[in-house]
Amino acid sequence: MSRAPLVFISHGAPSVALEEDDFTRDVRRFGESLDGVPAMVVVSAHWQSRGVRVNAVARPGPIYDFGGFSPELYELRYGAPGDPVLAAEVARLTGAELETERGWDHGLWVPLMHLRPQADIPIVELALPYNADLSALGRALAPLRERGVVIVGSGGIVHNLRMIHFEGKDVPVDAWAREFDSYIAAALARRDDAAVAEYRSRAPHASLAVPTPEHFEPLLVLLGAASPADRAEVIHEGFHYGNLSMRSFALRSSASTSALPVG
């Protein structure tokens, strides 16, 4: 089995679970390439913890950790199973504590409804630890790739809810958001991991684009799990609501991967 890809999915607003657009179509198209994958480990911006924790629940239910949306959104469920055996393996690799009661937050189930609507791949969620060496966490997870386990980071390259233009999902994109997003895309395209990790001091408009780090940090876990041969492959690029980046991509070693657009 070839080494599994690393996948970064921008989950956007929870309402994307009910929508059909270029983003959902692109994500679903990429998800079709995951046939035969034995499991996924997902690091979501919406589960942070003191120390590393891993969800070992066999059938996690959805957590509706948002408010003010359409009532039908609160009726959605994502039916993929958990994987307690893999969770125990993740705990051994990372030193995580097992979580035996928690459900799945919307940072997991919203994008996974489009990435793998069949809900046929077991999933283990790993918490994003506060003030941790996220690159080291990724390195600890990297051996799972050799067994075909896909590691997914769910967050967003540009995610500032105070700046969103709620008047429309397709309004013109703010220049500051596009410039930051393009900086990260260019750094990924040339695999300059230091330029990504040092975004606070090197990227334009970092304080606007990443006012708090939790949506960006799943990317740092993935870079820790990456090998030097991995190249960035675009899944989707674009924005919702003027500055909410929906950039999503895979990192994998393959002659078929295309260069990540930097526009």
Write out the residue range of the structural domain in which residue 116 sits: 6-252
User: Residue 119: its pLDDT value, please?
Assistant: 97
User: Residue 2: its pLDDT value, please?
Assistant: 78
Predicted model pTM: 0.94
Token digits for 30?
A: 């990429």
Residue 18 lies in a domain: yes
Residue 141 lies in a domain: yes
User: Residue 254: its pLDDT value, please?
Assistant: 64
The model's pLDDT over 220-255, given as tens digits with 9 standing for 90+, comes to: 999 999 999 999 999 999 999 999 999 999 999 863
User: Residue 1: its pLDDT value, please?
Assistant: 53
Task: Give the position of tokens 């975004």.
Answer: 199
Residue 227 lies in a domain: yes
Residue 13 lies in a domain: yes
Residue 51 lies in a domain: yes
User: Residue 257: its pLDDT value, please?
Assistant: 40
User: Residue 162: its pLDDT value, please?
Assistant: 95
User: Residue 176: its pLDDT value, please?
Assistant: 98
Task: Give the position of tokens 């990790």.
Answer: 197
Residue 83 lies in a domain: yes
**70-78 — which CB contacts under 8 Å span 24+ positions?**
70/15, 70/18, 72/18, 73/14, 73/15, 73/17, 73/18, 76/17, 76/18, 76/109, 76/113, 77/109, 78/104, 78/108, 78/109, 78/112, 78/113, 78/119
How many domains does the structure of the chain reveal? 1
Find the CATH number of the domain harbouring 237: 3.40.830.10
Residue 257 lies in a domain: no
Q: Which residues of the chain have pLDDT under 50?
A: 255-263
